[in-house]
Amino acid sequence: MTDTLIRGRLLTFHADPEDSADSHRYIEDGGLLIREGRIAAIGEVPALARANPDALQIDHRPHLILPGFIDPHIHFPQTQIVASYAAELLDWLNDYTFPAEAAFAGPAHAARLAGAFLDLLTAHGTTTACAFGSSHPASVDALFSAAEARGMAMLGGKVMMDRNAPAGVLDTAQSSHDDSRALIDRWAGRGRLTYAITPRFAITSTPAQLEAAGALAAAYPHLPVQTHLSENRAEIDLTLSLYPQARDYLDIYDRYGLLGPRSLMGHAIHLTPREIARMAETGTRAIHCPTSNLFLGSGLFDRDGLRAAGVVTGIATDIGAGTSWSMLRTLDEGYKISQLRGQRLTPLAAFHWATRGNALALGMADRIGTLDAGTDADLVVLDARATPAMALRAETIGTLAEELFLLQTLGDDRAVAQTYVAGRPVKKTDRRAE
């Protein structure tokens, strides 16, 4: 197969801009040599083109090329309930979420929505996501089949939930264990797919089911575990009433062996100092879901507090409580939450977070999240002049940081000129690559 040389203004991170003055590499006339879905080389174009005269060149200048965005917390069966009016989390789950997820018992519905879900992700420049399925194994089969057909690096699992929800979405402790294990046998490690053990949250799991989830986590220690933690006050009160022996919310998951560097806690807003210290001690990840947290009025994530304590964080859409599929919109809302907290999220730190930062949170930075040679060629091409308002604003900017901030503040899927998955352009667009 012919090599491809993708040309543009390249930006990739090798360290967190908040930890290091030397955090990124920017190449004004940069090239990525793509061979068999991987980045074979990165460099200045004149030299790279001279060394690879047979490579097919695709020129995206003057656009920026970054690693594809990563969304580490999203619900695949909630694609159709974004923008559903609700007072707060528990109402929203009961009124919209559980009924919508019940429909994923049907394989045809699941297959149609899986394709739509992945197309929406890539249209917004997201090339990898860690997704909750519904409780039905067929939802994960649909998601993984569609991801495999597209060559996408996708993580996901069937939610385990055996109480406090309608019958149509409930499993049992035993069936959730057995169904998860069968899905692991079928999918884990196949191509670019990763199975995630997925107890929904403590409210919808009996102790027996969390024990089953813990048994899976012990049996498959290399697999991620994803769940929800301390999203809102009413949720926390109900949770603690269901697990009266637990010291706090995090302690419930701790007792069942569900913490560790492969564990991803969605939201993680209203935490006690003990919980934060325990997350840091165990390496458990906190995933910020800004548009969701503002939409449901859940609370303001304490990014700096968690970071200072040594907790690794990620940033995600949390579709369908999240209100945008775009990681640009998500960074914008994350920035505003930092503002309300009196914290500073710089543009470089924001774009690091949505790429290498999320890859680190998922433990996948050796494969995705950077433009390093040897990693998978998942890319997003960003156009800071995509709309009339952006183009006018762009006339007045001079630095890379200003351009990134413009993209995050005014950008959405219109600013995504192209998305590459394993070296292949996947965004349907009538623009020519200029």
Rounded to a whole number of angstroms, the minimum distance from the CB of residue 206 to Zn ion is 20
Q: Are 324 and 317 in contact (CB under 8 A)?
A: yes
Rounded to a whole number of angstroms, the minimum distance from the CB of residue 75 to Zn ion is 6
Q: In this complex, which beta carbon is closest to ligand GUN, that of residue 199 or of residue 257?
A: 199
Rounded to a whole number of angstroms, the minimum distance from the CB of residue 155 to Zn ion is 14
Q: In whole angstroms, what is the distance from residue 253 CA to residue 337 CA?
A: 27
Query: Which burial class, exposed, middle or buried, applies to 90 when counting CB atoms under 10 A from its CB (0-12, 13-18, 19+)?
Result: middle
Q: In this complex, which beta carbon is closest to ligand GUN, that of residue 97 or of residue 284?
A: 97
Q: Which does 292 bind (CB under 5 to 8 A by kind): Zn ion, ligand GUN, none?
A: ligand GUN
Q: Determine which residue in the list 266, 314, 320, 322 makes contact with Zn ion, applying CB under 5 A.
A: 266
Q: Are 101 and 46 in contact (CB under 8 A)?
A: no
Rounded to a whole number of angstroms, the minimum distance from the CB of residue 162 to ligand GUN is 14
Rounded to a whole number of angstroms, the minimum distance from the CB of residue 318 to Zn ion is 5
| DSSP code per residue over 331-360 | HHHHHHHHHHTT----HHHHHHIIIIIHHH
Binding residues for Zn ion, total number by CB under 5 A: 2
Q: In this complex, which beta carbon is closest to Zn ion, that of residue 284 or of residue 370?
A: 284
Rounded to a whole number of angstroms, the minimum distance from the CB of residue 196 to ligand GUN is 14
Q: Are strands 424-425 and 416-421 parallel, antiparallel or unpaired?
A: antiparallel
Q: In this complex, which beta carbon is closest to ligand GUN, that of residue 202 or of residue 421?
A: 202
Q: Which does 89 bind (CB under 5 to 8 A by kind): Zn ion, ligand GUN, none?
A: ligand GUN
Q: In this complex, which beta carbon is closest to ligand GUN, that of residue 75 or of residue 288?
A: 75
Q: In this complex, which beta carbon is closest to ligand GUN, that of residue 146 or of residue 321?
A: 321
Among the listed residues 180, 244, 194, 141, the one whose alpha carbon sits nearest the alpha carbon of residue 172: 180
Would you tell me which residues interact with ligand GUN (CB under 6 A)? Answer: 75, 89, 93, 97, 200-201, 228, 231, 292, 318, 321
Q: Which does 231 bind (CB under 5 to 8 A by kind): ligand GUN, Zn ion, none?
A: ligand GUN
Q: In whole angstroms, what is the distance from residue 384 CA to residue 206 CA?
A: 49
Rounded to a whole number of angstroms, the minimum distance from the CB of residue 255 to Zn ion is 22
Question: How many angstroms from the chain centroid is the CA of residue 300?
Answer: 19
Q: In this complex, which beta carbon is closest to ligand GUN, that of residue 297 or of residue 310?
A: 297
Q: In this complex, which beta carbon is closest to ligand GUN, that of residue 90 or of residue 188?
A: 90
Give the type of residue at 103: A
Rounded to a whole number of angstroms, the minimum distance from the CB of residue 420 to ligand GUN is 30
Rounded to a whole number of angstroms, the minimum distance from the CB of residue 231 to ligand GUN is 5
> Could you tell me the CA-to-CA distances from 236 to 145, 231, 292 in Å, in that order?
36, 7, 17
Q: In this complex, which beta carbon is closest to Zn ion, that of residue 325 or of residue 405?
A: 325
DSSP state of 431: S
Rounded to a whole number of angstroms, the minimum distance from the CB of residue 42 to Zn ion is 35
Q: Does 133 bind Zn ion (CB under 5 A)?
A: no
Maximum Cα–Cα distance across the chain: 68
Q: Extract the tokens encoding 229.
A: 């933690």
- The window from 9-17, 99-107, 310-318, 326-334 that contacts Zn ion (CB under 5 A) reads 310-318
Sheet holding 285-288, edge to edge: 225-229, 263-267, 285-288, 313-315
Q: In this complex, which beta carbon is closest to ligand GUN, that of residue 194 or of residue 292?
A: 292
The separation between the first and the last C-alpha atoms of the chain, rounded to the nearest angstrom, is: 23
Residue 81, phi-psi category: left (phi > 0), alpha (psi -120 to 50), beta (remainder): alpha
Q: Please calculate the CA angle 300-301-307 and round it to the nearest 5 degrees.
A: 150
- The window from 27-35, 181-189, 193-201, 315-323 that contacts Zn ion (CB under 5 A) reads 315-323
Q: Which does 200 bind (CB under 5 to 8 A by kind): ligand GUN, Zn ion, none?
A: ligand GUN
Residue 386, phi-psi category: left (phi > 0), alpha (psi -120 to 50), beta (remainder): alpha
- The window from 1-9, 87-95, 265-273, 299-307 that contacts Zn ion (CB under 5 A) reads 265-273
> Could you tell me the CA-to-CA distances from 170 to 159, 174, 196, 225, 432 in Å, in that order?
9, 12, 19, 19, 48
Binding site for Zn ion (CB under 5 A): 266, 318
